[in-house]
Amino acid sequence: MQPYRNCDVKRRLPGCIIIGTPKSGTKALIEFIGAHPDVEIAQGEAKFFNRNDNYYKGYQHYLKKMPLSCPDQITLEKSPEYFYSRVAPYRIHKMNHSIKLIIIVKDPVQRAISDYIHRRTTFSGRKETNYTFEELVYDNSTKKLRTQYLPVIRSIYYRYILNWLTYFSPNQIHVADGNNLIVEPQDELSKVQDFLGLERLITKDSFVYNSTKGYYCLWTHSSTQCLAPCKGHKNHSVSPELVNKLNLYFKPYNELFFNIINKRLSWS
């Protein structure tokens, strides 16, 4: 709850949800926009609309995961796995057909590599973690990409956004650029503030570059707020030849995605 506000404080259903994509900067984006005085953010990931064990507990269960807010504030939550869920769009639309949604995506090759690193770290007991990214996505015997590897499949964005556009109009969905968020965070935050109808209070002066971490941190009240050390990791080393093969593979899918959202992104 933002300090020094006097209002009818209670937990409210979100007016906006960051629905994805994983490993593209969702954590940084929600932390940055959460610095705005007219925004209250949920901590953690609700994972309500994509998981039956949560959804069937009802909205009261969901509300418990929301922050306290005032009537004139926007409640915002993020659950990046929503983007890939077949049922989440319908369920969110059923809750609020006029809600605003934010998708953040980055270069699909980089996202796939980051996804691999996350899976290797999080699921250390799985057989998959015994292999390098190169071994999982490229078959040396056939000289072909293994395009059914999940981190690769999940970087084909156009396949998933079509499901969301079945329930929501394009003007309800803002697509943020995860690559640009790293180098020009104030640019992406200006667009998000405009999309949410907020005054542009988060500006270039709101950020400071941390040369040790290698990314921008939020500056508030003479202190800096950075993501946890596990965030912003350097990507796993991948050969330029494999990166080029993946870029060529993703190119037609990227073009389909750009046509659907009617804009290009910095990594196009």
Catalytic residue among 10, 23, 57, 64: 23
Which residue do the tokens 């991948």 mark?
238
Contact residues for 259 (Cβ-Cβ < 8 A; gap 6+):
none
- 23 flagged as catalytic: yes
131 assigned to a ligand binding site = no
- Of 80, 4, 11, 83, nearest to 40 (Cα)? 11
Residue type, 12: R
Contacts for 148-154: CB closer than 8 Å, 24+ residues apart: 149/112, 150/115, 151/111, 151/112, 151/113, 151/115, 151/116, 151/119, 152/112, 152/246, 154/21, 154/22, 154/84, 154/111, 154/112, 154/115
Contacts for 218-222: CB closer than 8 Å, 24+ residues apart: 218/31, 218/32, 218/35, 220/35
216 assigned to a ligand binding site = yes
Instruction: Using the Cα atoms of residue 87, residue 92, residue 98 and residue 103 in order, give the sign of their dihedral.
Output: negative
Annotated binding site for 3'-phosphoadenylyl sulfate: 114, 216
Which residues are part of the catalytic machinery?
23
